[in-house]
Structure 1
Amino acid sequence: MSQIDDIRLQVMWNRLISVVEEQATTLIRTAFSTSVREAGDLSAGVYNAEGKMLAQAVTGTPGHVNTMAEAVGNFIAAIPRQEMFPGDTYVTNDPWLGTGHLHDITMCTPVFKNDTLIGFFACTAHVVDVGGRGFGADGKSVYEEGIQIPIMKFAERGQVNRDLIRVLRANVRQPEQLVGDFYSLAACNDVGRDRLLEMLAELDQPDLQKLGDFILTRTHDAVIERLADLPKGSWSHEMLTDGYDDPINLAAKVTIEEKRVLVDFDGSSPVSRWGINCPMIYAKAYACYAVKCVVAPDVPNNAASLALFEVTSPVNVLNAERPAPVSLRHVIGHMVPDVVLGALAQALPGQIQAEGAGSLWNIHISARPVEGQKGRRAEVLMFNSGGTGARPTLDGLSATAFPSGVMTMPIEATEHTGPIVVWRKELRPGSGGAGQYRGGLGQIIEIAPQEGHEFEFSAMFDRVTTPPRGRDGGANGAAGSVSLDDGTQMKPKGWQFVPAGRRLILKAPGGGGFGPPEKRAPELKERDARRGYLEVE
């Protein structure tokens, strides 16, 4: 291949990324759920005819992108080629074939050019309501957690499956919102398909084969090159998280070889009887993300880079089998990078960040008028983040979602969706672990029902009894807490009640510090004091 060919293919690759970016933007602009529209809890990507991911949108979470990379293959396995037609769109929310829990809707759309199948577009989004118990840890099996949609056709030859729409409407609390999100997901893929076909016509390319081979070959070679510079061997690490009734132990053994990295979760706690279990497809997604952050952060994420990372586990909380409850699979799944990074810190001493809050401090609120009062009912989902761990040369990031990468929803958008008031949302002074580099600060959030209303909320919080640990002499970050404004302590997980006139107070954890605190530069201490970061609660 000539240098000119290389340049043309690189330009085409960049153009392909712009296609998936427009795909994702379409979903954000048309989505009904605030989790998609405001927080970016989604993913979008393009795949070749064999179902291998070629490019992903920058907007999106690793848990969605990396699970979807495997999910497209599940769609191809379930729907025979002779039953795929132009104008089709396929859908599922199967936790084990999609992205880990029922609240994530995944859609896959085949792309045809001159009646030849040349690839697929896929997208995923977290929707607010799928029926059942709601977004919480209280279910004892997946059957209680909401409606299950097997891999099936949302549309065939451009005609939407009206029977599926009727079933959806009959099983959820806010049907207009859910059905609207389904159409948004389908439109997202349609835009990607149309832009791809325009691109191929403009560039006079018959299909994605040549460009796909270029992308996957270059990516594979780049990751192999990065692996050559790493120490070879095996390292193990364990980490406690809160769990539900009892703490959950997460264990990882990371092995670096010449041409692959292996992660094994043997030694992790057994499957929980509560909905905090993690299907393997989701645990694998975040394990691969953690490894890639260290091995090849600058290399594009696609099928070739993911293929060099192998993840295994016996049946346990990180490899829960059907019908285990998995609604809050993100609580455990978001902790996976910290346990993997803990093992890599032994291989690369002084180069890996401290532990952070990990899982999001999401809250699902089911608001209603007090009996005898007029008002409205609403399902409200709010995303919040604690602090990240300090880095080897920098402080941790405050109130930042790592590893998920989702954005914080504006308070105005959250209050608009239901009868609640967010009285306070600010950084939590003193919550970052001390060190040569300080851990990121958590948040304090105060939420109350509007006058004449009350609400139940699903607590899905962690790092309340097991704070993020510092690294290389850094101090732990502050643990989180959940309470009412009258001092009543609430559980960190499960559905609970907030009466009219009371406020719910959430204190998200801070990240661990890095390095001995006595080595912190005086100017950094002065800056923290000036900004009010050091105040002790």
Structure 2
Amino acid sequence: MNIQTRISLIDKQIMWNRLLAVVEEQAQVCQRTAFSTIVRESGDLAAGVFDAKGRMLAQAVTGTPGHINSMALAVGHVIRTWGLHAMRPGDVFIHNDPWMGTGHLNDISITTPCFKGDRLIGFLACNSHVMDIGGVIDRTSSRDVFMEGLYLPILKIVDGGQVDESLMAMIRANTRQPVETVGDVYSLINCNAVGCERLLEMMDEFNLRELDELADHVIDTSREGVLAKFRKLPKGTWHSSLTLDGRDDPVVLKAALTISDDGIHVDYTGSAPMTKYNFNVPICYTLAYTSYALGVAIVRDIPNNAGSLAPRTVSAPEGCILNALKPAAVFGRAQMGLMLPDLVYNCLRQAIPDQIPAESTCGLWGINVMGPWDSPPNIANRYLTQVMTTGGMGALPYRDGMSATGFPSGVRGGPIEIFESMTTLVVWKKEFRQDSGGAGKFRGGLGQAIEMENIIPESFQYFTGYERVDHPAKGAAGGGNGAPGRLRLETGEFLPGKGCSEIPAGVRIAVSSPGGGGVGNPKKRDRVMVSRDVEYGLISSEIARDLYGYVA
């Protein structure tokens, strides 16, 4: 039997699992060799294998939805730009075009054609966040994409095995962290190379000359599996809106979600127009988090690939904040994009209320700092560092929300010890924020209470791009809202949720991340669970008495 033309179903399933193993090793290589702390410590990356047509066949579990579901489109852009005929063994392509599968300039995407002999059999692709790509120092002040750093169109960074040193020199010259940024580029190139090696080993083991038959099986099976789940849902269209803090004025997002036998479509008509600030969202990022929200709530155990993603579609008017057009400023696109799951869930809750959580913090509360700031002679010694911190997830109709979690980003909280080792700051406190989870039969997840201070007599810069300060996560089915987030100096001054603040030397800053909404009447919460929450310090005895009706 010619196994290439007739592959048994069992072999196809084994090969599919092997593809998942290939991309997971690819992602682990990227994470373990990365220079950026957000990649190395928090897993802010994506890795995937694609067939020769540019269709994603498998993605790594390690990674984040904004990277993964945006990256799914990137290989197609590379093929259209260069053409398959122009590719040869040893080629590697690079770009960070926000509208071609990265979302903002700080995400670098690498695509590597994989050859078996002289035959192109597929692609390995990856992307990750680099800490600095140039641009304005104040990360909140950009007003178009050209202020945000070095803009790389789809270029060949390795040609037939030879690194383009001129392109590397250009990247090195346009970042404040040349060693780290170029190191991350090499990390991405290397992880693709490892992925290609493992893919070819798998093909040799199964005597495959090409991936076409396996690719069709993966994509067709996944698409039908997702459609089967969608066909069990109520049919119709549901609407929702979400009011976010914005900057000068609140930002209103609107969605109409339609479930049919052919898929789920989310239309964002009516959402706010593009803003002059930098939290505009390219449509690829809108698709990424919309698709992820549907995947978590409905698709669940079916792996992400071109087939499983196809029945999830979006639309948004050109020029609205969720379909921003070049050259809009998009550095902070996560500030809006990460909120889309709540908007989607506010629609789905009307159709399948027993499966959908209350609103969550959604947006990350990353600590982004730069220093020293006061002394010009120290400019060359400035650090630019980020550690990810998180808030609370909304409760589900059957359990409490998770506390201090990166949902829906998938980014893990970073170790404070690593953060302190790379700055002159000391973190005096990092703990659950008492009473921050929305009350309910099932309680919302808690945010965090963090205090830090510079230990040298210098000020430092604190960059904020936070949501849920003015508009906290709402509860559902009688549950209470989560606590809003806040930033406060020990002098009593409150800092804005978006902007750049100079923190004086010797002054502590307290970061209180928001909590998730609760579900159900708090008076119906299990008394044992209330008692446990009080004992563990998650809720105060006053809240237990006033909201839960519990007295020890």
Q: What range is the shorter-chain TM-score in?
A: over 0.9
Mapping 1:37-56, distance limit 5 Å:
37-56=40-59
Q: 1:329 to 1:521 in 2, by over 3 A?
A: same
Q: Does residue 453 of structure 1 match 2:458? A: yes
Structure 2: how far apart are the matches of 1:3 and 1:77? 31
Q: TM-score, normalised by structure 1?
A: 0.97
The aligned amino acid for 1:456 is: Q
> Which 4+ runs in 1 deviate beyond 2 A?
1-4, 134-137, 369-376
Q: Does residue 392 of structure 1 match 2:383? A: no
- Does the 8 Å contact 2:387/2:415 carry over to 1? no
2:79 — aligned with what? 76
Cα displacement (A) at 1:292: 1.8
Query: C-alpha deviations, 1:19-42, integer Å up to 9, x for none?
Result: 111100100111011010000000
Mapping 1:332-347, distance limit 5 Å:
332-347=336-351
Question: Which of 170, 182, 185 does residue 182 from structure 1 map onto?
Answer: 185
- Does the 8 Å contact 1:374/1:452 carry over to 2? no
- Does the 8 Å contact 2:72/2:101 carry over to 1? no
3-state SS of 1:453 partner: coil
Cα displacement (A) at 1:86: 0.7
% identical aligned pairs:
46
1:364 — aligned with what? 368
Structure 2: how far apart are the matches of 1:404 and 1:261? 21
1:286 — aligned with what? 289
Query: C-alpha deviations, 1:33-88, integer Å up to 9, x for none?
Result: 10100000001000001111100100001111100001111111111222211111
Q: 1:99 to 1:369 in 2, by over 3 A?
A: closer
- Does the 8 Å contact 1:254/1:261 carry over to 2? yes
Query: C-alpha deviations, 1:464-496, integer Å up to 9, x for none?
Result: 000000011110000000121211111111111
Cα displacement (A) at 1:298: 1.2
- Does the 8 Å contact 1:263/1:311 carry over to 2? yes
- Does the 8 Å contact 2:395/2:518 carry over to 1? yes
Structure 2: how far apart are the matches of 1:448 and 1:150? 40
Q: TM-score, normalised by structure 2?
A: 0.95
1:146 — aligned with what? 149
- Does the 8 Å contact 2:372/2:378 carry over to 1? no
Q: Does residue 216 of structure 1 match 2:216? A: no
- Does the 8 Å contact 2:427/2:451 carry over to 1? yes
Q: 1:184 to 1:524 in 2, by over 3 A?
A: same
1:62 — aligned with what? 65
- Does the 8 Å contact 1:367/1:449 carry over to 2? no
3-state SS of 1:184 partner: helix
3-state SS of 2:88 partner: coil
Cα displacement (A) at 1:133: 1.6
Question: Which of 292, 303, 306 does residue 303 from structure 1 map onto?
Answer: 306
Structure 1: how far apart are the matches of 2:306 and 2:136? 36
Structure 2 spans left out of the alignment, 5+ residues: 544-552
1:488 — aligned with what? 493
- Does the 8 Å contact 2:223/2:309 carry over to 1? no
Structure 2: how far apart are the matches of 1:143 and 1:447? 33
Query: C-alpha deviations, 1:202-229, integer Å up to 9, x for none?
Result: 1111111121111112111211211121
Q: Does residue 167 of structure 1 match 2:195? A: no
Q: Does residue 108 of structure 1 match 2:111? A: yes
2:271 — aligned with what? 268
Mapping 1:479-518, distance limit 5 Å:
479-518=484-523
- Does the 8 Å contact 2:135/2:147 carry over to 1? yes
Question: Which of 219, 231, 248 does residue 228 from structure 1 map onto?
Answer: 231
1:330 — aligned with what? 334
Q: 1:266 to 1:222 in 2, by over 3 A?
A: same
2:435 — aligned with what? 430
3-state SS of 1:129 partner: coil
1:524 — aligned with what? 529
Cα displacement (A) at 1:348: 1.0
2:353 — aligned with what? 349
Cα displacement (A) at 1:134: 4.5
Q: 1:377 to 1:60 in 2, by over 3 A?
A: same
The aligned amino acid for 2:249 is: D
The aligned amino acid for 1:254 is: L
3-state SS of 2:176 partner: coil
2:257 — aligned with what? 254
1:200 — aligned with what? 203
Cα displacement (A) at 1:244: 1.1
1:9 — aligned with what? 12
Structure 2: how far apart are the matches of 1:135 and 1:78? 33
Structure 1: how far apart are the matches of 2:137 and 2:507? 23
Question: How many residues matched?
Answer: 537
Query: C-alpha deviations, 1:164-188, integer Å up to 9, x for none?
Result: 1111122111100100000000001
Cα displacement (A) at 1:351: 2.4
- Does the 8 Å contact 2:290/2:341 carry over to 1? yes
3-state SS of 2:8 partner: helix
Q: Does residue 240 of structure 1 match 2:246? A: no
Structure 1: how far apart are the matches of 2:468 and 2:265? 27
1:124 — aligned with what? 127
The aligned amino acid for 1:444 is: A
Structure 1: how far apart are the matches of 2:269 and 2:282? 15
Cα displacement (A) at 1:369: 6.2
Q: Does residue 416 of structure 1 match 2:418? A: no
Structure 1 spans left out of the alignment, 5+ residues: none
- Does the 8 Å contact 2:279/2:330 carry over to 1? yes
Question: Which of 384, 408, 411 does residue 403 from structure 1 map onto?
Answer: 408
Q: Cα RMSD between the aligned structures? A: 1.7
More moved, 292-301 vs 307-316: 292-301
